[in-house]
Amino acid sequence: MRSSAHASPPKKALRRDIQGIRALAVVVVFLDHLLGWPHGGFAGVDMFFVISGFLITGLLLREYEGTGHISFLRFYGNRIKRIVPAATVVLLVTVALGYLIFPASRAQSVTWDAVWSFLFGQNWNLALEGTDYFGQGAAVSPLQHYWSLSVEEQFYFVWPWLLLGLLLLYARFRPVTARSTRLLAGGSIGIVSVSSFVWAMIESTASPTFAYFSTLTRGWELGIGAAIAVAAPAIGRSLAGRAGARTLLSWAGLAIMVVSVFVITPESVWPAPWALLPVLGAAMAIAAGIGDEPQHAVILTNPVSKYIGDISYSLYLWHFPAIVFGMTLFPGSGSLGYALTLVVGFALAVASYHAIEKPIHQSPLFKKPRAREAWKSWRSQYADSMKYGATGFLAVTTAVLAFVAITVTAPTTAPVVAATTAAPIDGSEGTEKEQPSVGPAQLEVTQALEDALGTSAWPEAVVEQIGTGSGMSEEFSECADPATAPDGGCTWGDGERTAVLLGDSTAAAYAPILVDILTDQGWTVRSLAMNGCEFSTLDLTSGGAAERCADWKEEADQLVQETQPDAVIITTQFSISTITGTTGNLPVEDWTTGFTEAVQAVVGSTEKVVLLTPAPYEKQVSECYSTLSAPADCVSTPTQGYLDRASVVRDLAGADPTIEAIESQDWFCVDGLCPAFAQDELTKADTVHPYQPYLTAIRPAIEDALLGALELGAA
């Protein structure tokens, strides 16, 4: 870095078409996060990456070409002024609201998210958290969206230094010209981008969570934007005097971006190769505006699009906290809640932009020459903007805080849930086998569930459990983790009778209580449950690697055939997965085929197959609970998809005397309604997995059902 005495490069006015792309990107992100529509709206982040790579690389190249150096003091000073003030305010407000509204465990989690976000490490924090299958359905952090800011800033911790280092190295051997600068920059960003894209192609299938959040798999998107900046002079010359080609390129890019957010789904392999669609669309639209603004590009250049583009950074910062807190404060409010969330998000963004983002970004901070005169001029220019913006910001935040405070101090009551109004949970007329009579242990569980449904206040003991995890011991957690599970599974007990447990993380969640019951009965129990690997002959993906699950299935089938256990116990989630290589939810017919074939493959290798249905998919308690909520706000009902799959399990048991079914929903629901707690214990650790202390509390009912299915008494 040379002396900063060189003159600063001239500033370029903001391009209206780029502001329009920003507007499109932030609006589809907001709508997707709020409404789930358009379902590929998350691709707006990828458009932002391209814009960022183009603008920042263009700034660096113009500075080097104009001054012969890159001032990192000025560069990072401008980044701090542009990014940090507004981001920090959002972090502070979000943490404060978290402690006011959320349970303590979730508020503490949000605080740590804020720390990671402030240090630009939120993407790695989320990547690590995402590898925990027992955290499935974990409460969404209102700061989750900061991952993209972390990716950008990590990229800019490296790219400017790499660029300058290569330029200085080149200058030692021959003179640096404008052409050689561009060639060197283009070659280096090309290598970086291609390497990043290849790695993204590998990781997107091998480790989807890490691929989504990793800077290494996202760098190519910023690199595409950087490449457009490097080639800007050539692009400008090729489009000079060709208004029609410029307009066509702009509209084509816009069309690709719009189509991509409707074609792409959450099941698309991401970020590579599917992110190519929005990335290339954004690159085309940006390239079209180099040298001159495209004609007839009113969708991108109109005043509304330009203004939304101006406030897009503040809107991006505020939109997710507005959604998360809005859904907490107005659960089930439908259109009204969505509308209020939009209004609050935009109002906070407008106020934040005028009071914080723009004034501080344009301030003389980090600029030494004529500091006193510069600050005086700045105050004169932005005094009104800051005053009105701050007033609006305080008005919105005061209204929100007042609403929260009034609601918190008001008595929390809720009508007793009328359990008798729901349809029967089994969704069927019955099975061929005679249903066992309900014993006293199950009657006690049913009574506890009914008591919970009639409760209008949260028990203090339950509140303290929210967000504390599954309660599973390290021994059992490691047994189902593909990184730590031993070959051949884990084994407990030394009895002559043997049982094997098969399934995914839902089976692993039941393993501790099943092992306790069976080993007390003199059994040896082996668990082959594996996180993320559903029990099916279909090639399913639910966050895990398809190849790893295929290997696990083959090993499990072989072990059961070789050992011929006395019993095989199977439980697996009622799939929310998709067949690898396809999109959309798995149809019940396909699920039935895959599950039935997998069960039939086991039947001939054991005396008894026990099909234990998973607990019904329920609301995430750490999301539906707040200091404002009543227990009724967290009551769930089994979905039709769940009921259909439970019927399949009953049909299998009814058609084969060696197969027995245990319907676990009776431990979580009564008359079609599922409370979040019973017997002063949470029933679920998340939306899918049972809370271990609750399983312990209802052990007598589980033991009766399991021993009855095995047609055994006490050993």
- Model confidence at 142, pLDDT cuts 50, 70, 90, reads very high
pLDDT value, residue 69: 87
Q: Are strands 608-612 and 567-571 parallel, antiparallel or unpaired?
A: parallel
Return the ∠ at Cα 129 (arms to 582 and 474), rounded to 5°: 110
**CB 691 within 8 Å of CB 684:** yes
- Domain presence at residue 357: no
Residue type, 448: A
* Tens digits of residue pLDDT in 393-427: 777 777 766 665 555 555 444 444 444 333 444 44
Residue 611 in this model has a pLDDT that exceeds 70: yes
pLDDT value, residue 77: 92
pLDDT value, residue 435: 53
Which of 29-38, 273-282, 326-335, 528-537 bottoms out in mean pLDDT, i.e. has the lowest? Answer: 326-335
- Domain presence at residue 492: yes
Task: Round to the nearest angstrom and report the end-to-end CA distance of the chain.
Answer: 79
* Tally of domains in the chain: 2
Residue bearing tokens 């600050």: 375
pLDDT value, residue 434: 54
Tell me, yes or no, if the pTM score tops 0.85: no
Domain stop point among 263, 283, 313 = 313
- Domain presence at residue 301: yes
Tokens of 616: 């019904």
Residues of the chain by 3-state class (helix, strand, coil), percent to 5 = 60, 5, 30
Q: How far are the Cα atoms of 312, 432, 484, 617 from residue 480, in angstroms, in the given order?
A: 43, 35, 8, 21
Q: How far is CA 524 from the centre of its chain?
A: 39
Q: How far is CA 3 from the centre of its chain?
A: 44
Q: Which residues contact 17 (CB under 8 A, 6 or more apart)?
A: 250, 285, 286, 288, 289, 293, 294, 297, 300, 301
- Model confidence at 2, pLDDT cuts 50, 70, 90, reads very low
- Domain presence at residue 328: no
Which of 238-252, 427-441, 608-622 bottoms out in mean pLDDT, i.e. has the lowest? Answer: 427-441
- Model confidence at 369, pLDDT cuts 50, 70, 90, reads low
* Tens digits of residue pLDDT in 219-238: 999 999 999 999 999 999 99
For residue 143, the enclosing domain spans: 24-313
* Tens digits of residue pLDDT in 262-281: 999 988 899 999 999 999 99
pLDDT value, residue 629: 86
- Model confidence at 539, pLDDT cuts 50, 70, 90, reads confident
Count of other CB atoms within 10 angstroms of residue 609: 23
pLDDT value, residue 399: 72
- Model confidence at 688, pLDDT cuts 50, 70, 90, reads confident
Count of other CB atoms within 10 angstroms of residue 604: 10
Residue bearing tokens 């990671």: 116
Residue 158 in this model has a pLDDT that exceeds 80: yes
pLDDT value, residue 7: 45
3-state secondary structure of 154: helix
Q: Rounded distance, CA 337 to CA 323, Å?
A: 9
pLDDT value, residue 79: 94
Most confident range (mean pLDDT) of 380-384, 390-394, 587-591 is 587-591
* Tens digits of residue pLDDT in 175-202: 888 889 999 999 999 999 999 999 999 9
Higher model confidence: residue 484 or residue 106?
106
Q: Rounded distance, CA 160 to CA 605, Å?
A: 63
Residue 375 in this model has a pLDDT that exceeds 70: no
* CATH code, 517: 3.40.50.280
- Domain presence at residue 380: no
Residue 328 in this model has a pLDDT that exceeds 80: yes
pLDDT value, residue 27: 98
pLDDT value, residue 12: 61
- Domain presence at residue 255: yes
pLDDT value, residue 336: 86
pLDDT value, residue 206: 83
Domain stop point among 290, 313, 336 = 313
- Model confidence at 554, pLDDT cuts 50, 70, 90, reads confident
Q: Are strands 497-503 and 523-527 parallel, antiparallel or unpaired?
A: parallel
High-pLDDT (> 70) share of the chain, %: 86
Tokens of 617: 């998919």
**CB 686 within 8 Å of CB 138:** yes
Residue 632 in this model has a pLDDT that exceeds 60: yes
- Model confidence at 365, pLDDT cuts 50, 70, 90, reads confident
Residue 95 in this model has a pLDDT that exceeds 50: yes
Q: Rounded distance, CA 365 to CA 80, Å?
A: 10
pLDDT value, residue 713: 52
- Domain presence at residue 211: yes
Sign, CA dihedral 520-525-531-535, equals negative
High-pLDDT (> 90) share of the chain, %: 62
Higher model confidence: residue 353 or residue 438?
353
- Span 468-481, mean pLDDT? 86
Is residue 697 exposed (0-12), middle (13-18) or buried (19+ Cβ within 10 Å)? middle
Domain stop point among 261, 285, 313 = 313
For residue 271, cis peptide bond before it (omega within 30 degrees of 0): yes
- Model confidence at 136, pLDDT cuts 50, 70, 90, reads low
pLDDT value, residue 138: 65
Residue 11 in this model has a pLDDT that exceeds 60: no
- Stated as kind and residue range, the H or E segment containing 24 is helix 16-35
Residue 440 in this model has a pLDDT that exceeds 60: yes
pLDDT value, residue 139: 78
Quote the mean pLDDT of the chain. 87
Q: How far are the Cα atoms of 5, 59, 76, 171, 532 from residue 181, in angstroms, in the given order?
A: 22, 13, 22, 10, 49
- Domain presence at residue 461: no
* Tens digits of residue pLDDT in 280-289: 999 999 999 9
Which of 268-272, 487-491, 580-584 bottoms out in mean pLDDT, i.e. has the lowest? Answer: 580-584
